[in-house]
Amino acid sequence: MSVYFLDSSAVVKRYVTETGTPWVKSIVNPRSGNHIHLARITGAEVVSALSRRMHGGSITAAAGAVAVAEFRNHFASEYVTVDITPSLIESAMNLAETYALRGYDAVQLAAALEVSTDSIALGMGSPTLISADSDLNAAATAEGLAIKDPNTHP
């Protein structure tokens, strides 16, 4: 059993076939016993990404509808979500300023760091951040988080 924090770029791979999909699916499979954490904002980001793919034609409307429905179900039942609190936003602002991150990437990193603090306190060890975003990964590494890029797992 391991603790993982996934950003939106990683979560989408569970619902749309692309580089890294089998690897991500193995990590989030409930039978793996892994603890999967997401920032609550990931809900809107993933539904947006899937809807944009439907409207852009890279996935069919039917496949997109199934993907969104599956994600919504998993979001409600399988993922541990990190609430977006005033203190998390303050941390995200500091991270954005330090690393010149995009806004939601800073929120993702702040949430991952919060999970890390909580997981370590509970004796579960630090989570691994799963993200395909190189800027986010660089900042996470600088902050002491272990990272894995799903795009390196074909």
For position 50, what pLDDT does the model report? 97
- pLDDT, tens only, 33-54: 999 999 999 999 999 999 999 9
Q: Which residue has the tokens 């996470």?
A: 140
- How much of the chain, in percent, has pLDDT values that exceed 70? 100
Dist. CA 133–CA 123, nearest whole Å: 28
Q: Evaluate whether 68 touches 47 at the Cβ level (below 8 Å).
A: yes
Query: Amino acid identity, residue 55?
Result: H
Flag whether pLDDT at 124 surpasses 90: yes
CA distance 141 to 42: 21
- pTM attached to this predicted model: 0.96
pLDDT at 3: 97
Mean pLDDT over 105-130 rounds to: 96
Helix, coil or strand: residue 146: strand
Asked whether residue 154 carries a pLDDT value surpassing 90, the answer given is: no
Q: Which domains does the chain have, with CATH numbers?
A: 3-152 (3.40.50.1010)
Task: Decide: 153 and 10 in contact? Cβ < 8 Å.
Answer: no
Measured from the Cβ of residue 104, the count of other Cβ atoms closer than 10 Å reads 19
Q: CA-CA distance, 109 to 7, in Å (whole number)?
A: 9
pLDDT digits (tens, 9 = 90+) for 71-81: 999 999 999 99
Write down the pLDDT at residue 1: 84
